[in-house]
Structures are given as C-alpha cells and as structure tokens.
Amino acid sequence: MNQTLLEVQNVKKYFPIPSKLFSRKKEFVKAVDGVSFTVNKGETLSIVGESGCGKSTTGRMIMKLLDITEGKVIFEGQDITDMTDDQIRPLRKEFQMVFQDPYASLNPRLTIKEILEEPLIVHNFNKGNRNQRVTELLEVVGLNKYHADRYPHEFSGGQRQRIGIARALAVNPKLIIADEPVSALDVSIQSQVLNLMKDLQEEFGLTYVFIAHDLSVVEHISDRVGVMYLGRLVELATRDELFGKPLHPYTKALLSAVPIPDPTVKRERIILKGDIPSPANPPSGCTFHTRCPFAQETCKIQVPEFRELESGHYVACHYAEELEIN
Amino acid sequence: MEKKVLQVRNLQTHFTSDAGVVKAVDGVSFEVGKGETLGIVGESGSGKSVTSLSIMRLLKDTPGKIAGGEILYEGRDLTKISEREMRRIRGNEIAMIFQEPMTSLNPVYKIGRQLEESIILHMKLSKKAARERSIQMLKAVGISRPEKIVFEFPHQLSGGMRQRVMIAMAMACNPKVLIADEPTTALDVTIQAQILELMKSLTTTTDTAILLITHDLGVVAEMCDRVVVMYGGRAVEESDVVSIFTNPKHPYTQGLLESIPKIGDRVERLSSIPGNVPIPAHMPMGCKFAPRCPHAMDVCWDKEPSFDKLTDNHSVRCWLHKEVPTDEPNLVGSSER
Amino acid sequence: MVELKLSNKEAYYQQTLENIPSKTPFSEFWRKFKKQKLAFVAFFFVIALILLAFIGPFITPYDITEPDYENVLSGPSAEHWAGTDAYGRDIFSRVLAGTQISLYVGLTSVLLGAIGGTFLGIVAGYYGKRIDSIIMRICDVLLAFPGILLAIGIIAILGPGLGNVIIAVAIFSVPMFARIVRSSTLAVKSTLYIEATKSIGTRPKRIIWKHIFPGTVSSIIVYFTMRIGSAILTAASLSFLGLGAQPPSPEWGAMLSGGRDYLNMAPHVTIFPGLAIFVTVLAFNLLGDGLRDALDPKIKE
C-alpha cells in the first residue's frame, strides 16, 4: 500500500522584494526554504503552521500555480518541476485543488453547471455525458440536480465549498490539495464538510494534502502531519506520534496553545514570547530560536538538520533528544 | 445579590430593507457582573455582533434600529439616553475591541496620538500626562518598548501587536465593561494564546466586566464564566460555563459541542448538525432551529418557545424543557446525554 | 373547493431553493437599476431617442432642406413649433432629423473606440510585462493631448467630414477604454476563481473569453454609456467649428453654427438644437450613473 504518489524534494520559493529606487541589491522573501516530504497513495498528509509559514505557497507550488525557485516536485514518478503549461495540462486532471474561500473561488457570473463543466471541457470529456456527470457530481457532494442552474451567490458557505469539492472531483483526480478548506466555514458546517471529504476519500481512493492551521481539524483528518515554521518543515510524523509525542518545541507550543473546549480541563500551557519573525529577514541558525524557550547558543548559529529521529518521525531541532527526556 | 454592571433585557434590533423588516436580534437577555466574563457564542447570522453594536449604539450607519428591550448600564437604560450622553459612556465606561484591529486604527496617525486622543477626551488629562498614561498602558499589555511604539504607525506593527494596542486603547480609561468582538479570530494560535492570557490577567487586575463575542468554543471554555448561546437572532441557552459544556440542554448547543473535533479525542466520524445556518429571508415560523433539530416536534414548527429559567442559573429556549401547550403527548423525553 | 392549509413545517420546506425564483446576475441588476429613479427615466428617454433616430426623418412635418424665403427666422408658432432658420426651414423638423446623425456619430465612434480599447486593455492587463508597458505608454501619450485638440489634429490630416469625425472620436476613446478595461482585467485576474480555473488546466484563450472578458463587461457598459454623451458633444463641437457635418446637414452642432450670426435677433435658431444636445448628453450621463450604481458589486444595499 505504501506507494509514493507525490514526492517533494527540497523545494524553495523566493519572492523578490521590489527593489528600492537606486538600490542594486536584490532582496528576497524566503516563503518556502527547502521543504521535502513524500505523500503515499490513499493517505492524508496535513501541513500545519501559522500565517506566513509557507504552507499555502508549498501547496501552490505542487499545483504548479507558482514557479518553483529550486527543488523538485515528482508526481507518479514524473518530474513536473520544469514542465511547461502545455506539457502539464494533461496531467492536471490527476491533481486538483480545493480552496479556502468558497466565496471567491467560484466565478459569480457562471452557473453551477458551467463551473462544474469547465474541467470536463478543458480535459475533453465526452460532450454527451457532461450533463449526466454534472448531476452525478452534485449528488456525490450532497447537492441536488436543481442546483445546477443557480449562481454561486444563492448558496451558503458550506454549499459553495461542496461545489468547490465537486469541481475538484470532476475529472477523477488521484490527489487533492485542500488549502484550508473548512476554515472559512461556520462551526456546525465544518464537520459536514470534513465528513464529506472523508467519505469521498474512501469512495474514490483519494489522496489528500491538507493544508490547515487548526490542529484539532488536522488531528481528525490526517494520517501524517508536517509542521511548518518560517518556510521550513520542523517536524513530520504520523498523527499519533505527532500529537502523542511531539519532539520539536514549536510543535509542543502549538499544541498547548490550542484552546480546549472543555472548561473542566485546566493545564499548564507554553506561551511563546514575541511575534513570528518576518520571512524577509529570518533569524539565523534555527529560525525558531528567537521564540524557543529552550534555545541554546548553538541554535543561533547552526541550522538544525531535518533528521529522522525515530522511524518515520522527522524533526529539525538540535536538542530533540534531550527535550524528550525532560 | 450584587447588582450587575450591564443587564440586557429582551433586546430587539431590527434591520429595515426593501424586503421588509429583518429581526437580526430578537429577544436577547443576559447580565454581566464586575470582573465577570460572559461569552456570547454563535455562528454567522446568529446576531451576536449586532448585539454588541446595539449595546455600543453603533448602528447609526446601518439600516438597523433598536426596536425594543432595555440595555441597563449601572441602572441607566442606554436605549433611552441622548447621543451626547452616549458619547461620554462609549470608549470611557464601555469600550470595544474588534476582530480586525487594522480597521479600527486610523492608518494616518501614530499609535501614541491615537491612544492619547481618547485619554485626553475622557480623562481630562494634560497632553504630557496622557502620553505617560499611554506608555504605561502599552507596557501593561505586554509591549516591550512602548516609548518607541508610540511613534510608529499602525501598519508598522504585526497583527498581534495591533490587537495589543487596541486593548491598551480600550483599557486606557478604565472601562467598567469591555466588549470584545472576536478579538483573536484573525490571529495565529500562538498569538491568540498570548492575547487570551493578557485579557485574563486584565480582568483580575481591573475588575472589568468582559463581553466576549466569539464562534470558538475553545476560547469560550478557556475564558468565560458564563455563556449565552445564540441562534438565528435569539438567545437559546444561558448558563455558567461548566453547565453549558457538561450538561447542555438545547439541541443546538448539544449539536455544536458534538460537531467540533477535539484534540486527543479521536472519532472516525464527527457528528454534525444537518442543514445550513439560517438566513433571515428564510426563517421558520416557530423555533428557528426546528429545521435542523433532531428532536423537532409539531409544536416547534408552529410556535416559538420562550426563554425560560430551567434552574436558577440555567435558561433555555426549547419546547423539550416545557409544557407543550397542546393535548398531544410529549413524545420526546429528556435530552440528558 | 376544499382549501388546503399548509402547516408551518410544510410552508418552510415549500420555500426551499427549488421553489424560489433564481436570482440571475441580470435579474439582480434589473432590480437594483429599477430603484434608480432618474436613471430609469433617462433609460426610457434614450430608448425613445433611438426610436426617433430610426423614424425621425420620415415624420418631419416639413422638408428639412427646402428653403422657404417667406418665413425666414420666424419665431416659434403653431405652424413651426420651434420657429424657422435663416433659410426659412422648420427647426423642429431639422432637430428631429438630426437625432439620427448625432446618435449615429456617438454610437459608432464609441463602439469603434470600445472594441479597440477593450482588446488592447485585455491584452495589456492579462499578459502584462513588456506588452503592457508598450500599450499603456502609447495610451498615456494619446491621453496627454486634450481630446478636442487631438480630434482637430486628426481631422486636419484626414480632412473634414462626418466620417472622419467618427474616426477622430473613436481614436481618442481607445486609450480611455484601454485603461478602464486593463484595470478591471487586473482585478479579475487576481481573483481566486481565476487561480482555480488555472489549476484545472484551462487554456489562456478560454480564461480570457469565459472569465476575464465577462468580468470587464459591466465597466465597459457603464463607460460606454457615459462616453456616448461626450462623443455627441465632441462631434457637435467639431461640426460647429465646420470640421464635421457640412451644411445643409441638420447636424445639431452645424445648426448651432448656422444660427450663431442671429443670436440676438432670433435666439430660437440656436436654443432648440442646443437644447437637444444638452438633453441627450444629460440623458446618457444619467443612464451611465445609474448603470454604474446598479452594476458595481461594491455598492451594496
């Protein structure tokens, strides 16, 4: 079963900062600075992190919506890093994306039918079957046939996200990259959409890369989880390992910062000092050392290696072993 | 019993549009006492934000109007006083912080000037004293170099810093009530933890009553003493925080609590509330939750239940907990879980 | 007949999406547009003008070119509602017949300008980079001339005449449309739904036709309407200067020019064509304003 579907090798994305007048020096925002992971067929890999950590940029690079500055993206054994738009077009039906904002990701001037038909037209689906496929898709995501002739603004947030998911499913993809698919939704609607995504995964054998900031959602949906901080993965492990035995101090702080919806539970929490540094000017050494409660001199100088501490449990921290003992 | 600082009784706020009158808030009642934190929980369209704007009387630029009910602040009805008197209370005795601090800070003025403005206005201090007070406030909200920050513009600060500045601004005149409308929703988790910690320490040191409006049940559990749950413009349940989370009575509260994924509590499938969040144009006649309620009875569709006390400290708006005014037997039993 | 009374529950479910009429973008627009009282009146006035442009020349009470030297410069009367001009021609008839010319000049010149400007604007906005800079700098140069001066220059090259007026007005409409269309192209291009359609693998041609162009249409319509007013005005000015329609054409600007010498003796010769220009331009501007309010998604109730 452990078949690799997607392999991301040390990808980087540097955005140039518009240079100031009369200044020659080119500066860059290192949005993603060397991220590697693999995604196996049928699993859900989540990438969590706070704003500006580069999780969405990573997703967009895999989708080839952004150029990759450095590194490689390999999908089903094919290196798609340097493919042109025309070369990658036929491959696009294998991987699709679901976006965060269900209000903005649907063209308000098109009917639901036109929106769902678009991928079918682009990938030359049989014309006669398109109508039937649209109906089928609507039913799969729990909507009705009569919704087809409506416009996006006539739907609620949850329904629109269902439409977004239906669009992604239209061409039977193998991989879906979901960028914060439930964070714009109401609490009572989130669980509906999460359940739908789980059902669809089972039904169609989908593989998810799930990008999110909400750890409780991530714990619910993932098989494996990667934690990003300032453009780098700091920890990657199976869900049980990561939530049960987090090794990186950032992961620990992140987990303890999540408010627990149970007033009877009282706990000590690690509160990180200060703000997230700007990715345009990241700290030296371990980028987390400015906020890390356990930072040592080494952390300021040396970039920690992203190493496999235990089988399948990767962490980028000099002192992971010692911290684990404490 | 000690007199509560703020009492809202049967508040009604209506919005008029071409389509007719929309009752954005219809019968909301609650009270907050000194040093107490009351959470108002609800989803989009539940009327929770309109409630806070009504208390602040900030509906001027909207088609909304307070159509009934009382808002008693230290015994005075805020719905009846003049705009002039309200201005003296607003920002001084009742302060407010918003979800997106950038929209409530003026981008063209320096932080110091914005802080001083309200201090001078409400506390009648000299310019110099006001500067001192603002630096002191910035220090109190955990800003490390306040003497420098007062000379910066809002856009030079990070989101977390801006929210701290907003809190400093709101707390500068020692308000008796602080209304916080989704204060941490736009912030990252680790920054949220900082801000929540700050708000907690402020209530213990200043005795300010906090009205915390949020959709995040985790934040509520962490911060609040009492909770009002709102749905479709109504308060549907009110109690102390432990009762709400351990012994919820309204099917909506129950559904909401069951539908959120919890860390450390793994389930294969989340239970979920079917259907959609109600929109004002398509509200059912009776109980607003009836279309999504697993216990809905005929009476729920026909008549809206009143908001009644179940025990001394637990109120609920649901027919399951009332005599049903028909001869039909009540088919559904208690909703104890 | 037995009256069926729905229970409240049934009534609620009756009112589901299935049974509510669909709100298409057009029905939404129409609902908002109808609320703009003044623009709504202007809309019907413009429709009447267009009808008049077609039938005007056939319903004139008098011949518009035949001189009548017995009735020279006579004031408004029951026979001649707007009086007669220096050749004794009925001014009402001439204004009526002139509608066609003014609308024709206004519509065709702006249409040509809109087609050219839209094309350039979309190309500049969508492809960006070098093409964008080249197109927009040319537009900047064209816009640096005062409009009427540019038109006079063009006519100086092409020679006077109504056809050349159309070309002149069209040319200086191009950069304005290009600018507006470029900015809405940029706005649409940066939306999430364009990213979504790109992630599907949609080709640029389809993105432009299916997503970008429809997204710019509302601003084109608004500007088109407003532009007609000023195009009519410019055409009239050029004719007034003798660069456009030549006598005896009943073009409104040319009529103004013809009445100029009798301004003291017979003001009606200039007042009526002037009034026609004024009312027509005003109607198009009011209509444009109303369309903008109804089409702009930022203006919400």
B-C CB pairs within 8 A amount to: 23
Greatest Cα pair distance in chain B: 73
Closest residue in chain B to residue A154, using alpha carbons only: B279
How many Cβ atoms are within 10 Å of B289's Cβ, its own excluded? 26
Closest residue in chain A to residue B273, using alpha carbons only: A188
Check: CB of residue A209 under 8 Å from CB of residue A38: no
Q: For an interface test with A, give the residue of C13, C188, C193 to mutate (most A CBs within 10 A).
A: C193
| Predicted local confidence at residue C28, as pLDDT | 82
Check: CB of residue A100 under 8 Å from CB of residue A181: yes
Q: What is the dihedral of CA C145, C146, C150, C156, to 10 degrees?
A: -120
Check: CB of residue C109 under 8 Å from CB of residue C166: yes
Check: CB of residue B229 under 8 Å from CB of residue B244: yes
pLDDT-based confidence at C48, cuts 50/70/90?
very high
Record: contact A65-C195, CB cut-off 8 A: yes
DSSP H stretches of helix in chain C: 8-14, 25-34, 37-55, 91-127, 129-144, 147-158, 162-189, 192-200, 204-206, 213-240, 252-259, 268-295
DSSP H stretches of helix in B228-293: 241-246, 251-259
As a whole-number percent, the residues of chain B with pLDDT over 90 amount to 28
CB interface of A with B, residues 143-202, below 8 Å = 156-159, 186-192, 194-195, 198
**Which chain A residues touch C206 with a CB distance below 8 Å?**
121-122
Record: contact C199-A149, CB cut-off 8 A: no
Record: contact A259-B277, CB cut-off 8 A: no
Q: What is the dihedral of CA A262, A44, A271, B225, to 10 degrees?
A: -20
Strand spans (E) along chain A: 4-17, 27-40, 44-48, 70-75, 78-79, 95-98, 175-179, 207-212, 224-229, 232-238, 307-310, 313-315
Closest residue in chain A to residue B217, using alpha carbons only: A261
Closest residue in chain C to residue B19, using alpha carbons only: C301
Check: CB of residue B57 under 8 Å from CB of residue B236: no
Q: Which of A255, A260, A275 sits opposite B158 (nearest CB)?
A: A275
- With 90 as the cut, is the pLDDT of residue B251 above it? yes
**Mean pLDDT estimate for chain A:** 89
Helix (H) or strand (E) holding B213: strand B209-214
Residue B38, phi then psi, degrees to nearest 5: -110, 130
Helix (H, G, I), strand (E, B) or coil at C130: helix
CA-based torsion, B160, B164, B165, B170: positive or negative: positive
Average pLDDT over residues B45-65: 87
Give the Cα separation of C289 and C88 in Å (integer): 40
Q: Is C14 on the interface with B (CB under 8 A)?
A: no
Closest residue in chain A to residue C27, using alpha carbons only: A151
**Which chain C residues touch A101 with a CB distance below 8 Å?**
192
**Which chain A residues touch C210 with a CB distance below 8 Å?**
110, 118
Amino acid making up residue C250: P
Residue A303 burial class via C-beta count within 10 angstroms: exposed 0-12, middle 13-18, buried 19 and up: middle
Give the Cα separation of B337 and B335 in Å (integer): 6
Q: What is the dihedral of CA B48, B53, B56, B57, to 10 degrees?
A: -130
Record: contact A261-B245, CB cut-off 8 A: yes
As a whole-number percent, the residues of chain A with pLDDT over 90 amount to 54
Q: Which residue has tokens 């499938």?
A: B269
Residue pLDDT, tens place only, C254-284:
888 888 888 888 888 888 888 999 999 999 9
| Predicted local confidence at residue B235, as pLDDT | 92
Record: contact A151-C24, CB cut-off 8 A: yes
Residue pLDDT, tens place only, C181-231:
999 999 999 999 999 999 999 999 999 999 999 989 988 999 999 999 889
**Which chain B residues touch A198 with a CB distance below 8 Å?**
269
Q: Which candidate, C99, C253, C108, places its Cα nearest to that of C169?
A: C108
- With 60 as the cut, is the pLDDT of residue C301 above it? no
Q: Which residue has tokens 């959709």?
A: B215
Record: contact B218-A259, CB cut-off 8 A: yes
**Which chain C residues touch B302 with a CB distance below 8 Å?**
7-8
CB interface of C with B, residues 229-248, below 8 Å = none
Helix (H, G, I), strand (E, B) or coil at C227: helix
Q: Is A259 on the interface with B (CB under 8 A)?
A: yes
Pairing of strands A27-40, A175-179: unpaired
Amino acid making up residue A22: F
Q: For an interface test with C, give the residue of A99, A118, A144 to mutate (most C CBs within 10 A).
A: A118
pLDDT-based confidence at B334, cuts 50/70/90?
very low
Neighbours of chain C (3+ CB pairs under 8 A): A, B
Which residues are CB-neighbours of A303 under 8 A, at least 6 positions away?
A: A285, A286
Instruction: Tell me the two tokens of residue C127.
Output: 């492809």
Give the Cα separation of C150 and A311 in Å (integer): 76
- With 50 as the cut, is the pLDDT of residue B330 above it? no
- With 70 as the cut, is the pLDDT of residue C5 above it? no
pLDDT-based confidence at C6, cuts 50/70/90?
low
Q: Is C6 on the interface with B (CB under 8 A)?
A: no
Residue B262, phi then psi, degrees to nearest 5: -120, 140
**Mean pLDDT estimate for chain B:** 86
Closest residue in chain B to residue C31, using alpha carbons only: B18
Which stretches of chain C sit within 8 Å of chain A by CB? Answer: 17-18, 22-25, 191-193, 195-203, 206, 210-211, 214-215, 297
Which residues are CB-neighbours of C21 under 8 A, at least 6 positions away?
A: C27
Q: Which of B44, B217, B219 sits opposite A186 (nearest CB)?
A: B44
A-C CB pairs within 8 A amount to: 71
Give the Cα separation of B71 and B54 in Å (integer): 9
Check: CB of residue B55 under 8 Å from CB of residue B232: no
Average pLDDT over residues B262-291: 84
Check: CB of residue B220 under 8 Å from CB of residue B214: yes
* pTM (two decimals): 0.86
Record: contact A189-B277, CB cut-off 8 A: yes
Pairing of strands A232-238, A313-315: antiparallel
pLDDT-based confidence at C298, cuts 50/70/90?
low
Closest residue in chain B to residue C9, using alpha carbons only: B301
Residue A82 burial class via C-beta count within 10 angstroms: exposed 0-12, middle 13-18, buried 19 and up: exposed
Q: Is C9 on the interface with B (CB under 8 A)?
A: yes
pLDDT-based confidence at A184, cuts 50/70/90?
confident
Give the Cα separation of A224 and C253 in Å (integer): 77
Query: Does residue C248 have a cis peptide bond before it, meaning omega lies within 30 degrees of 0?
Result: yes
Please report, for residues A109, A169, C265, the alpha-carbon distance to residue A194 in angstroms, rounded to integers and kept in the order given: 28, 15, 84
Residue A13 burial class via C-beta count within 10 angstroms: exposed 0-12, middle 13-18, buried 19 and up: buried
Q: Which of B17, B282, B285 sits opposite C8 (nearest CB)?
A: B285
Q: Is A222 on the interface with C (CB under 8 A)?
A: no
Q: Which residue has tokens 């890093």?
A: A81
Q: What DSSP string runs through A94-114?
A: GEEEE-S-TTTSS-TTS-HHH
- With 80 as the cut, is the pLDDT of residue B272 above it? yes
Helix (H, G, I), strand (E, B) or coil at B177: strand
Q: Which residue has tokens 């020349």?
A: C57
Check: CB of residue B195 under 8 Å from CB of residue A56: no
Q: How many residues does chain A have?
A: 326
Neighbours of chain A (3+ CB pairs under 8 A): B, C
Q: Which of A44-48, A225-229, B267-271, B296-300 is predicted with the least confidence, judged by mean pLDDT?
A: B267-271
Helix (H) or strand (E) holding A142: none
Give the Cα separation of A151 and C193 in Å (integer): 14
Nearest chain B Cα distance for residue A118, angstroms: 27
Q: Which of A110, A118, A147 sits opposite C200 (nearest CB)?
A: A118
Q: Is A305 on the interface with C (CB under 8 A)?
A: no
- With 80 as the cut, is the pLDDT of residue A2 above it? no
**Which chain A residues touch C31 with a CB distance below 8 Å?**
none
Nearest chain C Cα distance for residue B19, angstroms: 11
Nearest chain C Cα distance for residue A21, angstroms: 19
Give the Cα separation of B228 and B336 in Å (integer): 19
Record: contact C8-B301, CB cut-off 8 A: yes
Q: Is A298 on the interface with B (CB under 8 A)?
A: no
